[in-house]
């Protein structure tokens, strides 16, 4: 089987049959065949983050970082071929570890770079959890990023002025 076929079978095993460990093994096999297969890498990170033991959950972050680091253009950064980008999933990973400011900045990066509606929604939720002393600095950063980026009306009608 090719690495893409292994990835598709891993997806099927996870979603249809709920055989998470088998899906993890297939994603690892796909990466052994083709270490540059970011679809398999991001999906492996997602599976490890959701179904792995503590060591595997930590490994998930490594896969998201490798996927982000390997891309050479915006299209590949924004489209892992599965659901949301590695940026989005790394942000979720950080959020789950209560690294709220890091998660917010990663979600913001995904929104500004990729126009992710889901990251925008999560960004607003994470920011509601942040301590008040962090918000002024993040508001300044958000405002600057939104105004300097190619932020369009899609998927939102306008850039947020503030987050709190």
Say which CATH number the domain at 9 has.
Answer: 1.25.40
Q: Can you tell me the mean pLDDT for 76-81?
A: 74
Instruction: Specify whether 78 is located in the same domain as 12.
Output: yes
Q: Which domain holds residue 141?
A: 88-164
Instruction: Specify whether 14 is located in the same domain as 79.
Output: yes
The predicted-structure confidence for 103-147, as pLDDT tens digits, reads as follows: 999 999 898 888 888 998 999 899 888 888 877 887 787 777 777
Selection from 72, 65, 56 nearest residue 23 by Cα: 56
Predicted model pTM: 0.83
Instruction: Specify whether 18 is located in the same domain as 35.
Output: yes
Share of the chain above pLDDT 70, in %: 87
The predicted-structure confidence for 50-70, as pLDDT tens digits, reads as follows: 999 999 999 999 999 999 999
Q: Can you tell me the mean pLDDT for 30-45?
A: 94
Structure confidence at residue 163 as a pLDDT band (50, 70, 90): low
Instruction: Specify whether 8 is located in the same domain as 75.
Output: yes
Domain boundary among 42, 62, 83: 83
Instruction: Specify whether 105 is located in the same domain as 127.
Output: yes
Instruction: Specify whether 92 is located in the same domain as 56.
Output: no
Instruction: Specify whether 77 is located in the same domain as 122.
Output: no
pLDDT given at position 113: 86
Share of the chain above pLDDT 90, in %: 58
Instruction: Specify whether 2 is located in the same domain as 78.
Output: yes
Instruction: Specify whether 60 is located in the same domain as 93.
Output: no
pLDDT given at position 162: 53
pLDDT given at position 136: 82
Instruction: Specify whether 8 is located in the same domain as 25.
Output: yes
Put residue 98 in one of left, alpha, beta given phi > 0 → left and psi -120 to 50 → alpha.
Answer: left
Instruction: Specify whether 34 is located in the same domain as 12.
Output: yes
Number of domains in the chain: 2
């Amino acid at each position: 089987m090719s690495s893409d076929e292994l990835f598709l079978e891993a997806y099927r095993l996870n979603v249809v049959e709920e055989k998470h460990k088998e899906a993890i093994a297939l994603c690892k096999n796909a990466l052994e065949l083709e270490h540059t297969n970011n679809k398999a890498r991001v999906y492996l990170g997602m599976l490890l983050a959701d179904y792995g033991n503590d060591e595997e959950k930590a490994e998930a972050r490594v896969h998201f970082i490798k996927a982000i680091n390997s891309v050479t253009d915006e299209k590949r950064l924004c489209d892992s071929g599965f659901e949301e980008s590695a940026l989005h999933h790394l942000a979720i990973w950080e959020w789950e570890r209560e690294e709220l400011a890091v998660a917010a900045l990663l979600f913001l990066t995904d929104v500004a770079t990729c126009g992710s509606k889901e990251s925008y929604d999560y960004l607003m939720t994470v920011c509601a959890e942040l301590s008040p002393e962090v918000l002024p600095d993040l508001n300044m950063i958000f405002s600057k990023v939104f105004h300097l980026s190619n932020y369009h009306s899609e998927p939102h009608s306008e850039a947020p002025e503030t987050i709190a």
